[in-house]
Structure 1
Amino acid sequence: MHETRRAALAGLIVASFACASAAAQEIKLTLADQNSPTGWGPSHALQPWVKQVEEATKGRVKIEVYPSQTLIKGVDRWKGIRGGIADIGWCVQGYWPEQTPLSDVMSLPFLPISSAEKGSEALWKLYEKFPSMKKEYSEIEPLLLYTSSPNLLVSKRPVKTLDEFKGLKWRVLGGPPTEMAKALGAVPTLIPMPDVYQSLDKGVVDGAAAPWEAVQAFRLYEVARNYTMAPFYVAYFSLCANKQKFQSLPQDVRSAIMSVSGLAGAKFWGRNFFDTAEQGVIERAKAGNYELNRYQVPPDELTRWTKIAGEPIWNEWVKKMEGKGHANAREVLNTALDLLKN
């Protein structure tokens, strides 16, 4: 009798140790990034977020980052995460415009986006509010969505009024930004961001649309001194996980990861990846003795630009989305405007 009890007790002890061991077992996740680990965004957002995840999970989760497209090329990231090549990936949603068409509302020109933190907050709240937007990400598990800060006009000559856009050779993205440039009277030019430095230096373009993070990363302050500050447009990004991998994690681990992701994570990434980069540019320019002429477009002039090159493109976007079966496109746009204004 006593031996039976001792055997049962020993069994319980072994089982409890096994459970404790399993609970404490380290979970390793891979993360595919396309940026240099020394860049502003990875240094100020990605790497701190990885530490936040480790702290939130009490050390149970360790994330191994593969930077500079070493694991998955940027244009293949969505497919690679969906297929399980990496557990988590940093995605530029602009690579796949047909994948998340309603989310593209955030990239329309002249939305009242004051900062990347505010834009990121609005994007995540749109995602939470509209099932049709959630459906756009159904193939993967979005941990957070965030936007860039507004693209500035980085130019060799000052641009302060509508008339000064006329004939300006302006590097912008395709789609609505190109239509925006045309409406303002500029000549849109499609050039990859890594080529912008030389294009400005050689006079191939007169100006380029870029957020402060890109100005810092590509040292554009060395070849252009004028910065027209207006919410021309933003890009948006996702940090997404393989759906099957994420769902296989223990519930408490998933909850811990989302405690530093979701809305809080979106705002953190927007602020630290993009908003803080302006100060980085100021410090670098000062250290190199480069002149920075920052010009904040006055409200009256900004309203004029928005009426000409913003609102007509918004309405065209709604018409296009409705034509593709997205009956709530107008509601999505109006909700985005309300979130950004409040």
Structure 2
Amino acid sequence: MRKFRSGLSGVLSFGVAVGILASTAAAQEFEWRYFTYFPANDKPTQLTRAFAQDVEAATDGRLKITIFTAGELPYKAADVVRSVATNQVQMGDVAVGFASGDVPELNVLSMPFLCTSFEEFEAAASEIAPTVAAVMQEKFDIVAGVQWTMPPQNLWLNREIASLDEISGLKVRTWNPEQVEMIKLLGGSPVSITSAEVIPALERRTIDGAITSALSANDWRAYDIVKTGYMVNMTMGHQMMLVNGEEFGKLPEDIQTILRGKFAEWGPKYNAMSQENEQLARKNLGDNGVNLVTPSKDDMDKAGAALQPLWQTWAEQNGKTGRTLLDAAMKVCGPA
């Protein structure tokens, strides 16, 4: 009887072990690294952490995403596409303007004075999404996730200005090719430096101004240096969440479905965060002594007339994809 019980115990133990292994295989966990070029305490980083927590909860812990912020990994904003494509990280944030070296044909929403409001951006992003996804898949085997926008891009200067003509002769930090051409057309000198270098450069006066959003300017405490915000709302700041295609393909279908659902769910949350914090940032910048200048209608008309030809030049330079994207964006943005 003892031998029987001992044998039965062994069989039961083996069966339990097999069951545990089968259960573990069925509930396989995936651990991904996500790089965001935003600093640790910036609002987009806070939201991305919340996104990762939501995904982990929705998948019952089967997909865990660890967030790494600026300075925690040896990448810069311009490195994100390649870092995700080569699986150094499985996910990443990219500003399409920063990635113009890798995907210049996707930079349509950086055309100056094309889409200049949250509403226009959301409509345009929906129009161009299928083409954007196809390009990222074909060129890099990357899945395009959430597409959202930073607030309007404006000029922040360490001096007082009151009109567009006063940009002539100034050195302005730009962060994509279209901004470079815009500043040249306005008579200024474009300068390329990283986000972390902007405030020191403004303080040392090696640059006179920088293009960024009120949200970023406020996060950088630019009000300690900046005198003027020239609120021209030249472009929105197109952002994308990227996923390595091979790693995405390894996920079970149910987790893939959950993740795609979260992309759709969180896009509006990122845009709402961006819009809400833009208003708070503008108020705080003004309260801290930054003069927020609204350009005159004449200045806006002058800028539009000077810069709209850039759209067509850009489309010609970027072939069929460029033309497709510009036509799609112009359905909902730009002059009537």
Matched, 1:334 2:327: yes
* SS at 1:34 equivalent: coil
Partner of 1:265: 266
The structure-2 alpha-carbon separation of the partners of 1:159 and 1:145, relative to structure 1 and needing over 3 Å to count, comes to same
Structure 2 distance, partners of 1:241, 1:72, is 19
Structure 2 distance, partners of 1:284, 1:332, is 36
Partner of 2:40: 37
Matched, 1:230 2:232: yes
Partner of 1:307: 305
Partner of 2:278: 278
Residue-pair matches, total: 322
Identify the range of structure 1 (53-62 vs 18-27) with the bigger mean alpha-carbon deviation. Answer: 18-27
Partner of 1:6: none
Identify the range of structure 1 (215-224 vs 134-143) with the bigger mean alpha-carbon deviation. Answer: 134-143
The structure-2 alpha-carbon separation of the partners of 1:340 and 1:71, relative to structure 1 and needing over 3 Å to count, comes to same
Q: Assess if the C-alpha contact under 8 Å between 2:105 and 2:321 holds in 1.
A: no
* SS at 2:100 equivalent: coil
Q: Assess if the C-alpha contact under 8 Å between 2:155 and 2:212 holds in 1.
A: yes
What's the CA shift for 1:31?
Answer: 1.6
Partner of 1:77: 80
What's the CA shift for 1:158?
Answer: 4.1
Partner of 2:93: 90
**Letter in structure 2 aligned against 1:311:** Q
Partner of 1:316: 313
Q: Assess if the C-alpha contact under 8 Å between 1:128 and 1:134 holds in 2.
A: no
RMSD: 3.2
| Structure 2: gaps of 5 or more residues | 1-13
Identify the range of structure 1 (90-99 vs 218-227) with the bigger mean alpha-carbon deviation. Answer: 90-99
| Structure 1: gaps of 5 or more residues | 1-10
The structure-2 alpha-carbon separation of the partners of 1:172 and 1:293, relative to structure 1 and needing over 3 Å to count, comes to same
* SS at 1:291 equivalent: coil
Partner of 1:139: 141
**Letter in structure 2 aligned against 1:206:** D
The structure-2 alpha-carbon separation of the partners of 1:85 and 1:212, relative to structure 1 and needing over 3 Å to count, comes to same
Q: Deviations over 1:53-112 (max 9, x none)?
A: 123324332212233343451244333322322222223444442422221111121113
Structure 1 distance, partners of 2:249, 2:330, is 33
The structure-2 alpha-carbon separation of the partners of 1:282 and 1:254, relative to structure 1 and needing over 3 Å to count, comes to same
Partner of 1:152: 154
Structure 2 distance, partners of 1:146, 1:137, is 21
Q: Assess if the C-alpha contact under 8 Å between 2:174 and 2:211 holds in 1.
A: yes
Matched, 1:103 2:101: no
Structure 1 distance, partners of 2:32, 2:189, is 45
Identity among equivalent positions (%) equals 21
Partner of 1:292: 290
What's the CA shift for 1:146?
Answer: 3.1
* SS at 1:281 equivalent: helix
What's the CA shift for 1:279?
Answer: 4.3
The structure-2 alpha-carbon separation of the partners of 1:95 and 1:60, relative to structure 1 and needing over 3 Å to count, comes to same
**Letter in structure 1 aligned against 2:315:** V
Structure 2 distance, partners of 1:111, 1:25, is 46
Q: Assess if the C-alpha contact under 8 Å between 2:38 and 2:69 holds in 1.
A: yes
Residues 136-285 of structure 1 mapped to structure 2, 5 A cutoff: 138-261=140-263, 263-272=264-273, 274-282=274-282, 285=285
**Letter in structure 1 aligned against 2:116:** I
The structure-2 alpha-carbon separation of the partners of 1:329 and 1:80, relative to structure 1 and needing over 3 Å to count, comes to closer
* SS at 2:331 equivalent: helix
TM-score (norm 2): 0.81
What's the CA shift for 1:276?
Answer: 3.5
**Letter in structure 2 aligned against 1:218:** W
TM-score (norm 1): 0.80
Structure 2 distance, partners of 1:13, 1:174, is 59
The structure-2 alpha-carbon separation of the partners of 1:73 and 1:191, relative to structure 1 and needing over 3 Å to count, comes to closer
